[in-house]
Structure 1
Amino acid sequence: MPGFPKQNRLLNAREYQSVFDKPDLRLSHPNFLILCRINSQTSSRLGMVIAKKNLRLATQRNRVKRLIRETFRHQQHQFNHLDVIVLARRNLDTLDNPEIVKILNKQWKRIQKKLNPPSQTSEKPTARA
């Protein structure tokens, strides 16, 4: 489905506040801070905090929001029942689109790894006599 429907967005202050108050997962990067909280919804939802203080120009803020939405949309099937807030940090406007997409995709993979840790293999070390 093209676009980004309302069911995949955090829409009001209460929804944002629940993630800010008790995040289940917190990922830090020099350009982004990502907070995640498991929700009771059927799908993952995204919220963004892109401050004018960190990205002065509206065009830059809109570009970053578009890239965040697009990368999230491609990865959201990997982690259901999750509310995610992405906060932009300073100097993000110095990066070009491919760099931002690469950083975000790496962060989505980190979330996936932390939520679904690899299972222990059933191989047992053999004792040598």
Structure 2
Amino acid sequence: MALIYPDNLRYFDSHEYLQLDGDVATIGISAYAIDQLGDIVFLELPEVGSTITIGESFGTVESVKAVEELYAPVTGEILERNEAVLEAPEILNSDPYEQGWLLKVQLAAKPDLSDSYDATQYQALVEGK
């Protein structure tokens, strides 16, 4: 399967992605990270109303190969979490960007995206192109 990296997202070294819509951010994990992990079997996410802090772990993703921490690319309060993905983590394997988002967060401040990548930069980073 060819990995895709939508142009409307920002990507991070820890392989989370961020989509901004005003002061709400949607967070997920990239197709590359999912490809490296293999079949996702379990996901742990924080409760709605809790706060995540940039650079800190906010949950875990477990595959048949490994358990990996998820790191917050922004700081804010969780407005929504994707219950469908919690119930059926395999959604991440087939659609990490549309159906497979993880959290929607009310931003505490305008995010500093200087340490993020656009789609072309991220693809070059992970695929060595």
- Structure that is richer in strand per residue: 2
The answer to whether TM tops 0.5 is: no
Task: Look at both structures and tell me which one has the larger radius of gyration over its CA atoms.
Answer: 1
Report the TM-score, using the length of structure 2 for normalisation: 0.27
- Structure that is richer in helix per residue: 1
